[in-house]
Amino acid sequence: MKTLRYLLLFLAFLPSQLPSKSLTASEQLTLDASLQELADRLLEGKQGSIVMLDPTTGEVKCMAFSSYDADTLNRAISNAYAPGSTFKVANMLTFLSTHSLTTETQYTCYQGFWRGKYHVGCHKHRSPQALVGALSNSCNSYFCKAFMDYVDNATLFKSRGEAVDVWSSYIKSMGFGAPLGIDLAGEVGGTVPTAASLDREYKGRWNSQTIMWLGMGQGEITATPLQLCNLAALVANRGWYLTPHVHKPKAGTELDAKFTTRHECKAAAEAFDPVIRGMRLCTLTGTAHSMSKPIDWHVCGKTGTAENYDNDHSIFIGYAPMDKPRIAVCVYIEHGGFGADMAAPMAALMIEQALQGKLSAHSKVRAQKWQDYLITPPTPDEPTQVVEEQILLDDDASISNMTADRSKQSKVRSARTYVKPPVKKVFGKKKNN
């Protein structure tokens, strides 16, 4: 119950947003002790967080977090990260709702997205694909190209700036860009870019290719694990969410209206069916197909691999069961590699525990395996090597010439020049007992 103790300390010594007084031991929390215990075990030797919500009530059923430094920073709400490919869910809802594409729209992918000699990688899969298949297989090419076509759509928008601001309004309506308002101190809101913020960042010189990374959840977009879990809850509810909370009302009182008021997102009602189909296929035949074995809990999910300066972050969001959702989850493991390799199998165990109240004998073995594996913390002074070429900021010569001085070079760096340490195994090591 390590994380639960940390959370109680976190609540006791920091003023909560609502109510303003400190938490006392007599107050009841919405947390499920068995989920907290399992999450603590899975996070041993790792840095990250696991969050679970009841989509129908907004109750936080699990909020576990861990750090290499054994600090009490709640990484579920106090750290904003690149959401990676989990964010394709939000983009797909936006594209369908604004009619910038349909479910039949196809894009090609040849193990990545190419612009001349500049390349954004993608894993091998069938090409071309329509939208539902692109989500289930997490095709970077599809979502980068779809985002650029959205921004450049002169029929829908008078300018690229208007396109970005409309996109931003949809994304913010899904709970991004500001704190959700959980009754805990220290929540951050992440960032959602607007045309104005992009103008400041790029001095007014940007186009769809400059910001195509937003299509795959990289670049100027950041979110907390709680916000990503809330996105899964929003999809489970087909368009609405409740403000997450960890306090139960006191005896004889009602829950504050802040936590019972629905927040409706801007996405069209008809956009949810194809998104849910894509998320379901993700766990059946897509990037998280192993989640349906040996028992299929009818999970709708999305993997994510957030590219990082060293080893990438492993992410999974989802909910279950598909037709009558009872639980939403986000697993975010820093430096954990591919989302399908670490976050997804951990999420499967958490979902089984939430739905069944226990783990099967087979799952207990798997849980012990993940508890016994560690991720080596990154070493700041480790020798590095460039493993991907710099991605072109813009087709225009004026933008390409932005590399002329050091300040402009930093903007090119932020547009995805990846420098990583030499390849090494970052998980799969047995801990010394």
Q: Enumerate the β-bridge partners of residue 115.
A: 118
- How far is residue 249's CA from residue 265's CA, in Å, rounded to a whole number? 26
Q: What is the 3 state secondary structure string of 239-268?
A: CEECCCECECCCCCCCCCHHHCCCEECCCC
Per-residue confidence in pLDDT tens, the chain, 433 aa: 555 545 554 454 343 333 222 233 336 899 999 999 999 999 999 999 999 999 999 999 999 999 988 677 899 999 999 999 999 999 999 999 999 999 999 998 887 877 766 678 787 777 789 999 999 999 999 999 999 999 999 999 999 999 999 999 999 999 999 999 999 999 999 999 999 999 999 999 999 999 999 999 999 999 999 999 999 999 999 999 999 999 998 888 899 999 999 999 999 999 999 999 999 999 999 999 998 888 889 999 999 999 887 789 999 999 999 999 999 999 999 999 999 999 999 999 999 999 999 999 999 999 999 999 899 887 765 433 333 323 333 323 222 222 233 233 233 223 332 223 222 233 333 333 3
Structure token pair of residue 202: 């790029």
- How far is residue 388's CA from residue 418's CA, in Å, rounded to a whole number? 6
Alpha helices for 154-243 (secondary structure H): 160-173, 195-202, 225-236
Instruction: Assess if CATH 3.40.710.10 describes domain 2-11+32-430.
Output: yes
What's at 270, amino acid-wise? E
pLDDT at 157: 98
- How far is residue 334's CA from residue 90's CA, in Å, rounded to a whole number? 22
CA angle 378/383/388 to nearest 5° reads 90
Spell out the domain ranges in the chain: 2-11+32-430
Check: CB of residue 79 under 8 Å from CB of residue 134: no
pLDDT at 294: 82
pTM score, whole prediction? 0.84
**DSSP, res 186:** T
pLDDT at 214: 96
